[in-house]
Amino acid sequence: MIDLSPYDALIFDMDGTLIDSMPAHLDAWEISCKYFGYEVEREFIHALGGVPSEQTARILNEKFGLNHDPKAVSQHKIKTWESLGRLPEIIEETVAIARDHHGKKPMGVGTGSKHQHAREMLAHTQIDHLFDALVASCDVQNGKPHPETFLKVADSLGVLPERCVVFEDTQIGLQAAHAARMDCILVTPDGLRLEAFNR
């Protein structure tokens, strides 16, 4: 078990970290990519977990030399995700940590999802009450791997960035955490792994 006593606050990514929503998001992206002519593998999209949809569309445009409107791609993906009608479940290992520290340490969520979607998912899974702050893609100018999301959560919690630890499931999330000078705990199929920021 990772010792969390050195940290004053805990920050969690949402999709793939607290909530098992990645399969449905990948399905939605797969459908949208075919619609817009992006010949992309699921592994590539999964690696972009935590990146806001419009930014993902820009990355896809650059990768494939296309010029689709990022907002149109994002809206198509979101509508496709909603049409799938899948309600995700919690990821027990990380939610158990959040429950255990509720009321003991300030905690927040930093996600690449839209604010309304994040609130709906946290409420659906009945874990929204655990968190003191929520920063979503529309709350920042720069999405992950830029550190702004996690820095804004730390600021909302009133805790210095270097006193926070981030829970993430992607390398892009890890980059964002380290760019914010925060340690990161990666959520992997083999369990939790601490990736300390090299101060």
176 burial (CB, 10 Å; 0-12 / 13-18 / 19+) is buried
Tell me which of 3, 8, 13, 132 is the catalytic residue. 13
CB 131 within 8 A of CB 122: yes
Distances (CA, A) of 70 to 56, 60, 80, 119, 176: 8, 9, 15, 23, 22
- Cα 87 → chain centroid: 17
Which pair of structure tokens corresponds to residue 29?
Answer: 């992206």
Residue 27: helix, strand or coil by DSSP?
Answer: helix
13 is catalytic: yes
- Separation between Cα atoms, residue 153 and residue 165, nearest integer Å: 11
**Per-residue buried b or exposed e for 65-74, using 16+ beta carbons within 10 Å of the residue's own CB:** eeebebeebb
- Separation between Cα atoms, residue 55 and residue 68, nearest integer Å: 12
Residues with a catalytic annotation lie at 13
